[in-house]
Structure 1
């Protein structure tokens, strides 16, 4: 049974995780912060359902929907650090509710990263189409197998592609998978104590252990260098 933290300051929470678990390329989180703030303001429900990970060397923010599309960039990233590395990964599902004055409020679900990847692999949907946004703002959906030819034909008319988004072969199937997985995650999660959770991470992560040791050392009294008065 997992935990959930409801109506919390998402960016503040993730920033604390970065301090505990991400030792290098911490500026990745600056990009995450901007991305999460931007997605929170789009009004698209799927832009508010995200997966986030902290690694010793960086962080990632991914749309949950895209993680479940087989072979997509998000799918490959989410799988890679489980299948190809032994990195300590702290992973979370984010449900964004509101963004105001640089703060993002919502719910956070800590994930068992390895178990989540294995479950996701059993449920992924094939990519069938691509949504392409061209330089002049034109949006066109094209079949995957026609990607190269159609983009080459359309680029002289509409400019270079600005973004390419993977779309499922079966939209209804993907929607049902996401609905079911999110319901299970929320239903089986119990409200967590944020302070207790963070204290537990401090005791288990390398950086947390180091900070505890430094704090303990700073409170110790230095040994006295005074010699006893000679008689």
Structure 2
């Protein structure tokens, strides 16, 4: 786990989102609004956030809300660890200010499987909520219904927040979280994004290899080939270069990627006589390839070649 200091928060989180979130990317527009309001707040607790990227969407919450039992933020933060197998990228975000209109801050990498369990174990009870109106506040039990209508005396409803039963316990908990994050080693953000992207391709290769090993008999429509569907999340995110890299990591002589007649998706297909007792191939980047990529980057860009997508029934 690393920390990344003095980054453009919105730009950095968007780069991270694009390594993991394939669908419902518009969630990030909501995150940007939350970050903008937090950066404008004069309360320190508003400027420390927890952010996550999932294959289908993102979430951004105040850290203090995540550590309050029973809140929507607390339950959502735990949900993807307890109820799904989603790959989740999670970060703590400390907003430090605005420079020429850009929100700056520090990002702290979180081990999400470990962190959601920590949140579940350490969260503080919150039996009451505070309703904020334009002319004042009102407190009521957390389970009591409210509908957000204007109050005759307090005016328009603005928002609500949970009230910790032990405020000092929560403050100490958040201080310890901040202290722990400060111990993380400083990281290179660009290298971190590259590593996440490489990890996405490797994870897909491992999933396909494992899936082909698990098949007991050819499962293509005419039972002549083994096949595993490429993850729709991977297909949505991956470039053609990424797909080529994936292909090179799969250790099969008869391998092809193809669509299937009358089926959605893209499939990794191998012959029924192929040896499936193999591991992922990890090609090493050659000097020639590095030189070639450098030349391509310097050369004038050409219009992309038109490709024809073939569909096979195997």
Q: Which has the larger radius of gyration?
A: 2
User: Size of the alignment, in residue pairs?
Assistant: 215
Change in Cα spacing, 1:146 to 1:22, as seen in structure 2 (3 Å) is: closer
SS in 2 for 1:117: helix
C-alpha displacement at 1:182, in angstroms?
1.5
Aligned-partner Cα distance in 2 for 1:72–1:88: 23
Map 1:29-108 → 2, pairs under 5 A? 29-108=28-107
SS in 1 for 2:192: helix
Change in Cα spacing, 1:116 to 1:215, as seen in structure 2 (3 Å) is: same
Aligned-partner Cα distance in 2 for 1:89–1:199: 17
- TM (normalized to structure 1)? 0.83
- Does residue 204 of the first structure (1) align with residue 232 of the second (2)? no
Change in Cα spacing, 1:201 to 1:144, as seen in structure 2 (3 Å) is: same
C-alpha displacement at 1:141, in angstroms?
3.8
- TM (normalized to structure 2)? 0.62
Would you tell me which structure has more helix in proportion to its own residues? 1
Gaps of 5+ in 1: 223-231
C-alpha displacement at 1:162, in angstroms?
2.9
String of CA shifts for 1:119-165, please: whole Å, max 9, x gaps: 1111110003322123xx1322414168449x99x934435633111
Change in Cα spacing, 1:15 to 1:215, as seen in structure 2 (3 Å) is: farther
Gaps of 5+ in 2: 202-233, 248-292, 297-304, 306-314
1:142 alignment partner in structure 2:
139
Contact 2:135 2:155 in 1 (8 A): no
Aligned-partner Cα distance in 1 for 2:136–2:84: 37
- Does residue 167 of the first structure (1) align with residue 196 of the second (2)? no
Aligned-partner Cα distance in 2 for 1:199–1:122: 33
Contact 2:4 2:187 in 1 (8 A): yes
SS in 2 for 1:20: coil
Taking only aligned residues, the RMSD between alpha carbons, in angstroms, comes to 2.8
Report 1 or 2 for greater relative contact order, CA contacts < 8 Å, sequence distance ≥ 6.
1
Structure 1 stretch 57-66 or stretch 98-107: which is displaced more?
98-107
Aligned-partner Cα distance in 2 for 1:155–1:72: 23
- Does residue 25 of the first structure (1) align with residue 24 of the second (2)? yes
- Does residue 194 of the first structure (1) align with residue 189 of the second (2)? yes
Aligned-partner Cα distance in 2 for 1:86–1:146: 31
C-alpha displacement at 1:194, in angstroms?
1.4
C-alpha displacement at 1:103, in angstroms?
1.8
Aligned-partner Cα distance in 2 for 1:210–1:129: 46
SS in 1 for 2:86: coil
Aligned-partner Cα distance in 2 for 1:33–1:95: 14
C-alpha displacement at 1:57, in angstroms?
0.8
SS in 1 for 2:151: helix
